[in-house]
Structure 1
Amino acid sequence: MTRRGLLLGGAQIAFAGVLGLRMRHMQVDQAAEFRLMAEENRINIHLIPPSRGRIFDREGRLIAENEQTYRITMRREDAGDVEDVIGRLSALVDLRPEDVTRALEEMRTSPPFLQVTVADRVSWEAISRVAVNAPALPGVYPEVGLSRFYPQHETFAHVVGYVGPVSERDLARYEDPEPVLRIPRFQIGKVGVEAKFEEQLRGSAGAKRVEVNAVGRVMRELDRREGEAGADLQLTLDSELQDYIKARLGEESASAVVVDLEHGDVLAIASSPSYDPNKFVRGISVGDYGVLRENNHRPLASKTVQDAYPPGSTFKIVTALAALEAGLIRPDETVYCPGHMEIGSRRFHCWKRAGHGHVNLEQSLRDSCDVYYYDLALKVGIDRIAEMGRKLGLGTAPDVPMSAVTAGLMPDRDWKRRERGAEWRIGDTVNASIGQGYVLTSPLQQAIMVARVATGRSVEPRLVRSVGGLQTPSRGGTPLDIDEAHLKLIRKAMFVVSNSRRGTAYRSRIIAEDMRLAGKTGTSQVLNRVVRNQDVPWEERDHALFVNFAPYDAPRIAVSIVVEHGGGGSSTAAPIARDITLQALYKGTPPLEAYPAGDRERIKAQQERLEAERAKRAAEAGRRA
């Protein structure tokens, strides 16, 4: 052999040795690592969104459920040329341009392995066409999913709220968002109970391992770990009563609250007008949303908890109790009302320009005499009035799982000095004594106030009865630090308001002996001038209020009504409150014998009309479902 041959042979043997050693290192030493890499290329892990917990009313009727829907999704890393695939998909399925634009944007900003919804709520025929043409549509997946549905549509919109796709703003609230929240179009609660109980309702995601081919097409499912469904919620609300209230309020811009006095259960809490939350789940159009926003009756606002109004004469209950507790008045002590009171250089008028003459405590509430309370204001002072207001639940945001719950305003000297940089004036106290000026309350706070007066306990509202089958504690409250004798005086005066011929709510009384109510009317000014409501535009008219409890002898429920720009509490709010009270006490349509004889023909026609409207609405809801 030549020397050149030896060198060449040696080099070949060395190269073969090095190659052999490298092959051994890769096949033996690194076998586990390469096996894992190969497995990852062959097997994908997909998240399985959990089934959202359902929401029921107190009788087990569905308020929010999940409906099966068909959708088409796409994964960018499997699709390759995304626009080309979407073009082929468009030939098979009608895709809205806005959906295509949204899907492309989501795929651009999302991780490539996440599936993006291209079309939601598509028909079975469309899903079938996509499945048949699967080989020509890499990265496209026809799926069956769950979407939120509210079978009672507008009835519970302001309480339950609605769900919607996760936004960047939603993710920013979490320090370490769960992976399921990053799935585009995954739905979470946006407002109301849906948002406040998001963690419990959402549940936890599952996962499945699937085998894919070289182009990313799923060949088979290897295994699956189901997620944990969200917890079901049962609310304290009564669907039948809530639906009745919606019909009774009609087209008014109004709100109503009914509270059970034993446990503090909120039996109904309704704002009118309302909206269909299903439109938000499916993606509300610009036109539909514009109609809601431009409506001057504000259908998007949950007026029962978000809005705060001057309570008007309903607040006289607070002023009277403050004076009684301070020992500054006797029940039989009278004040002369000439129709006004001069305080400093200003004249404060009574609503009755001719005056009420000499009135005592009971008569002052019966006739709603303003001058009597102007006199009390001078004796009691704002600090005692504010203290009593807080004992009755005013000035504090009620603890209910709804959005934007207001605390209202129970002002005192410190508040004005702190917030307005000014000293409290005697005129401020005079205005506050009749529920005007700075005092603001929500309809729910008004219901809490009258519930505490009726029971003598610190009743708190309970909106959720159980979570995942576990009962929530009763909120019937403990005894208030208020003399029971003084509370009895106020209750008796409220009874006279509704059952004495001279009472401001006499025309809205209940005749049935075991159902009679005790209430208080209120009218809060919108304009600070003396003018007749019929002489000004609707938005400048006074608000009408009414609060009551019933039955008088054994209180079971408390009710509050606010009709925005409704005029007078006795003429507008009291009749609605009386009808709602009877509907709640009888748990359905009350007998005509419960009404005054002169009202029965009108009430019969009203009941028939409301029943027809409710039946029509139920039929429409069935068709929309």
Structure 2
Amino acid sequence: MKRGPKEIEDSSRRISRRAMLLGTAQLGMIGILGARMASMQVEQADTFRMLAEENRINIGLIPPARGLIYDSEGVVLADNEQHYTITMTREGAGDVDEVLARLDRIIALDPEVLEKARKELKELSPFVPVTIARRISWEDVARVTVNAPALPGVVAELGRSRTYPQGLDMAHVVGYVGPVSDFDLSRIEDQDPLLQIPRFQIGKTMVENNLEHALRGSAGTKRVEVNAAGRVMRELDRVEGIPGADVQLTVDARLQNYIQARLDGESAAAVVIDVTNGDIKGIGSAPTFDPNVFVQGISVALWDELNEREIDAKLHRRPLAAKTVQGTYPPGSTFKMVTALAALEDGAIEAEDTVRCVGHTDVFDVRFHCWRRAGHGNMNLNESLKQSCDVYYYDIAQRVGIDKIAAMGRKLGLGERHDLPMSAIRSGIMPDKEWKREARGEDWRVGDTVNASIGQGYVQTSPLQLAVMTARIATGRAVKPRLVRSIDGVEQPSGAGESLGLNENNLRRVRRAMYDVSNHSRGTAYRTRIQEEQFRMAGKTGTSQVRRITQAERDAGVTRNADLPWNRRDHALFVSFAPADNPKYAVAVVVEHGGGGSTAAAPIARDVMLQALYEGTPPLSAYPSASRGQIAEQQRRLADLIRDIQPGRGTQDT
């Protein structure tokens, strides 16, 4: 039916309105889409670019170079050795077992390491590289590279590993590194991502452990392009990490090497301190071990061997223990200077006051014996130290009391945990009345004071503490031991110390008596004196009992140390400083179960002191004429044991 003009006009009007509404809606949608596209392309461009990059780029950590450790003269004590390493990622390998089987046919793999790698490949993220082989040869690297198409996910890399050029000599000082263990992660508070890298090495003991944060450095990063299967296509960029700080110690490698050679065959410790600044120049413990065997993780068999090492009469002499700081011993007669200074400072005695020694002292119903059964007769301060009379100290200790003796011991550095970057440093015991109440739940007895007066009973000291005590007596200052000279070139605080506030006259009297111990014909260390006038030594012998001698044994005759089992013999001790008139070094030596201090410890201390003073092998004229033939033979024997110290990469002097 034919529509009229009006109907046509109305229809056109309706169509135009609908078209306008539809067009407006379309324009609105286009505007919204345009705005969204603009937002995505302009405002959110960086976000989407990053998402796109992460789809094809992996970011990995680059372990930094660990800081080096030097001795006082710039000799390298802990170095980084470059070597080739084979790693694998599970994501890149695909069939891990098949790839490992191919790799094993190309280069010989250690079964134990391979088994550990299989476990890590299953447990760790598929993108984390796992070490399959370390320290491989260049020929093996070439074989892996040539066969790369058949070894997806396998990469040969240049890595670094810790090495200790001085070996056994510095084991108890520098310590060692090892792979991060679950135990390490459980006790380390910082969450450095480096610690998550498989077999990343951290300090386990001594300086390596205590200065871990300074030595470790900061990680670098690398970006690598991977394909859809996760296989590395190319490295895009690399930012190297910040190397760890270099550390310079106060120890002299040459002197340390001599100490270890001189202690060879003993279970012993020796410490040398520069009394002018507290620098530890030598700190040796024997027997020792090679720290290099710990770097990649020690085997169970070798660990058991080191913990169960047997010498002579099947006796364990603890090669892993740093006896210098971890061993504590009754100081014996080396403690007598403490008792003497306490009595002098208190005014309980004058230097010329005498005590008659008849070979024993009775305290109530207990008899305390002097080492000389017949007694020494009348003893003053000088004679009592020179001849090491026990009865003199039994008497004056009862006058001054244990609390003042203990206070003097602590003033001289005993009973204190000295702050050094070494492991398991022990504070020893400087007992007093309060200590016994708290530790033993008992009251202090007069007999305890008598025992303590000669360094027996509850008194326990380390070789380091005895060296500090001697340095403080020699100088009258609160010398503090220092093992680290500088970190990254920054000098560490000196250990010279302030004045102890002791009466100089009292110190002078004690020093003179110590001089006579070594240089008077009746002194207990006269046979091991230093002959050269300019280097004369002041010292004190010590012998500490590790067993109780019964009255029946005394009546029948005390059994000689040589006739006792090794672990029941007395400890031998000697402390000294030299030159006596202008002290430079203090030395302390402890020989476990060595017998007498004058025969076992004093000769070692004298030889070490001379080596330090002469900065090398001393002339025979420095020794008493009667012993020069023996010393010449000893020097020839030690020459075979002393390491040829090579210069380092450069001095670290500040």
The amino acid of 2:176's aligned partner reads: Y
Identity of aligned residues (%): 61
Identify unmatched segments of 5+ residues in structure 1: 1-19, 620-625
Identify unmatched segments of 5+ residues in structure 2: 1-29, 310-315, 550-557, 647-654
After TM superposition, give the deviation of residue 45 of structure 1 in Å: 1.1
1:192 aligned to which of 198, 201, 206: 206
1:596 aligns with 2:624: yes
Secondary structure of the structure 2 residue equivalent to 1:332: coil
Asked if 2 retains the 8 angstrom alpha-carbon contact of 1:316 and 1:435, the reply is: yes
Match of 2:80 in 1: 66
Match of 1:166 in 2: 180
Mapped to 1, the partners of 2:608 and 2:423 lie a distance apart of 25
After TM superposition, give the deviation of residue 614 of structure 1 in Å: 1.8
After TM superposition, give the deviation of residue 112 of structure 1 in Å: 2.3
Mapped to 2, the partners of 1:132 and 1:214 lie a distance apart of 24
1:258 aligns with 2:272: yes
Mapped to 1, the partners of 2:333 and 2:461 lie a distance apart of 12
After TM superposition, give the deviation of residue 586 of structure 1 in Å: 0.4
Match of 2:20 in 1: none
Secondary structure of the structure 1 residue equivalent to 2:234: strand
Deviation string, structure 1 residues 139-177 (Cα, Å, up to 9, x no partner): 111111000000010010001100011122222234451
1:272 aligns with 2:292: no
Q: For the structure 1 residues 211 and 22, does the alpha-carbon distance in structure 2 shift closer, same or farther, using more than 3 Å as the test?
A: farther
The amino acid of 1:235's aligned partner reads: L
Q: For the structure 1 residues 114 and 364, does the alpha-carbon distance in structure 2 shift closer, same or farther, using more than 3 Å as the test?
A: same
Match of 1:212 in 2: 226
Match of 2:318 in 1: 298
Match of 2:148 in 1: 134
Asked if 1 retains the 8 angstrom alpha-carbon contact of 2:254 and 2:645, the reply is: no
TM-score between the two structures when normalised by the length of structure 1: 0.93
After TM superposition, give the deviation of residue 27 of structure 1 in Å: 8.0
Asked if 2 retains the 8 angstrom alpha-carbon contact of 1:139 and 1:217, the reply is: yes
Deviation string, structure 1 residues 222-260 (Cα, Å, up to 9, x no partner): 111111100000000000000001111111000000000
Mapped to 2, the partners of 1:88 and 1:215 lie a distance apart of 20
After TM superposition, give the deviation of residue 612 of structure 1 in Å: 2.2
Deviation string, structure 1 residues 337-390 (Cα, Å, up to 9, x no partner): 111111111111100001101111100001100111110121111001000000
The amino acid of 1:147's aligned partner reads: S
After TM superposition, give the deviation of residue 35 of structure 1 in Å: 4.5
Q: How does 1:568-587 map to 2 (within 5 A)?
A: 568-587=596-615
Match of 2:570 in 1: 542
Match of 2:512 in 1: 492
Match of 1:9 in 2: none
After TM superposition, give the deviation of residue 63 of structure 1 in Å: 0.3
2:490 aligned to which of 447, 450, 470: 470
The amino acid of 1:590's aligned partner reads: P
1:611 aligns with 2:639: yes
Secondary structure of the structure 1 residue equivalent to 2:641: helix
Moved more, 558-567 or 162-171: 162-171
Moved more, 319-328 or 284-293: 284-293
1:51 aligns with 2:79: no
Mapped to 2, the partners of 1:238 and 1:276 lie a distance apart of 19
Mapped to 1, the partners of 2:543 and 2:335 lie a distance apart of 10
Secondary structure of the structure 1 residue equivalent to 2:543: strand
After TM superposition, give the deviation of residue 608 of structure 1 in Å: 1.4
1:403 aligns with 2:423: yes
Secondary structure of the structure 1 residue equivalent to 2:284: strand
1:551 aligns with 2:571: no
1:349 aligns with 2:363: no
After TM superposition, give the deviation of residue 23 of structure 1 in Å: 11
Mapped to 1, the partners of 2:357 and 2:188 lie a distance apart of 60
The amino acid of 1:587's aligned partner reads: E
Deviation string, structure 1 residues 113-151 (Cα, Å, up to 9, x no partner): 211111111111111111111121121111110000000
Match of 2:379 in 1: 359
Asked if 2 retains the 8 angstrom alpha-carbon contact of 1:138 and 1:215, the reply is: no
Mapped to 1, the partners of 2:272 and 2:235 lie a distance apart of 52
Q: How does 1:26-45 map to 2 (within 5 A)?
A: 32=45, 35-45=49-59
Secondary structure of the structure 1 residue equivalent to 2:340: helix
Deviation string, structure 1 residues 386-437 (Cα, Å, up to 9, x no partner): 0000000001101111000000000100011011111001111100000000
Asked if 2 retains the 8 angstrom alpha-carbon contact of 1:46 and 1:209, the reply is: yes
Root-mean-square deviation (CA, aligned residues, Å) is 2.0
Secondary structure of the structure 2 residue equivalent to 1:614: coil
Match of 1:519 in 2: 539
After TM superposition, give the deviation of residue 287 of structure 1 in Å: 2.3
Q: How does 1:445-456 map to 2 (within 5 A)?
A: 445-456=465-476
Q: For the structure 1 residues 470 and 314, does the alpha-carbon distance in structure 2 shift closer, same or farther, using more than 3 Å as the test?
A: same
Match of 2:354 in 1: 334
Match of 2:8 in 1: none
Secondary structure of the structure 1 residue equivalent to 2:276: coil
Mapped to 2, the partners of 1:351 and 1:22 lie a distance apart of 104
Asked if 2 retains the 8 angstrom alpha-carbon contact of 1:256 and 1:304, the reply is: yes
2:481 aligned to which of 435, 456, 461: 461
Secondary structure of the structure 2 residue equivalent to 1:403: coil
The amino acid of 1:92's aligned partner reads: I
1:319 aligns with 2:366: no
Deviation string, structure 1 residues 467-487 (Cα, Å, up to 9, x no partner): 001111111000102111100
Mapped to 1, the partners of 2:50 and 2:370 lie a distance apart of 86
Mapped to 2, the partners of 1:386 and 1:437 lie a distance apart of 13
1:385 aligned to which of 401, 405, 408: 405
Q: For the structure 1 residues 332 and 278, does the alpha-carbon distance in structure 2 shift closer, same or farther, using more than 3 Å as the test?
A: same
Asked if 1 retains the 8 angstrom alpha-carbon contact of 2:307 and 2:320, the reply is: yes
Count of matched residue pairs:
601
Asked if 1 retains the 8 angstrom alpha-carbon contact of 2:538 and 2:576, the reply is: yes
Match of 2:390 in 1: 370
Mapped to 2, the partners of 1:226 and 1:613 lie a distance apart of 42
Secondary structure of the structure 1 residue equivalent to 2:133: strand
Mapped to 2, the partners of 1:294 and 1:249 lie a distance apart of 20
The amino acid of 2:407's aligned partner reads: E
Secondary structure of the structure 2 residue equivalent to 1:572: helix
Deviation string, structure 1 residues 452-471 (Cα, Å, up to 9, x no partner): 00000000001000000111
Asked if 1 retains the 8 angstrom alpha-carbon contact of 2:67 and 2:245, the reply is: yes
Mapped to 1, the partners of 2:37 and 2:115 lie a distance apart of 47
- Higher Rg: 2
The amino acid of 1:293's aligned partner reads: N
After TM superposition, give the deviation of residue 103 of structure 1 in Å: 1.1
Moved more, 157-166 or 74-83: 74-83
The amino acid of 1:301's aligned partner reads: A
After TM superposition, give the deviation of residue 96 of structure 1 in Å: 1.6
Secondary structure of the structure 2 residue equivalent to 1:613: coil
Secondary structure of the structure 1 residue equivalent to 2:132: strand
After TM superposition, give the deviation of residue 180 of structure 1 in Å: 1.2
TM-score between the two structures when normalised by the length of structure 2: 0.89
Moved more, 21-30 or 155-164: 21-30
Q: How does 1:7-156 map to 2 (within 5 A)?
A: 32=45, 35-156=49-170
Asked if 2 retains the 8 angstrom alpha-carbon contact of 1:138 and 1:216, the reply is: no
Asked if 2 retains the 8 angstrom alpha-carbon contact of 1:159 and 1:269, the reply is: yes
The amino acid of 1:102's aligned partner reads: K
Deviation string, structure 1 residues 560-612 (Cα, Å, up to 9, x no partner): 00000000000110011000000000000001111111111111111111112
The amino acid of 1:430's aligned partner reads: V
Mapped to 1, the partners of 2:483 and 2:523 lie a distance apart of 34
The amino acid of 1:161's aligned partner reads: G
Asked if 2 retains the 8 angstrom alpha-carbon contact of 1:58 and 1:236, the reply is: yes
1:564 aligns with 2:608: no
Mapped to 2, the partners of 1:528 and 1:162 lie a distance apart of 40
Mapped to 2, the partners of 1:195 and 1:442 lie a distance apart of 21
Moved more, 272-281 or 77-86: 77-86
Mapped to 1, the partners of 2:238 and 2:215 lie a distance apart of 22
Deviation string, structure 1 residues 82-130 (Cα, Å, up to 9, x no partner): 2222112111121122111211222233222211111111111111111
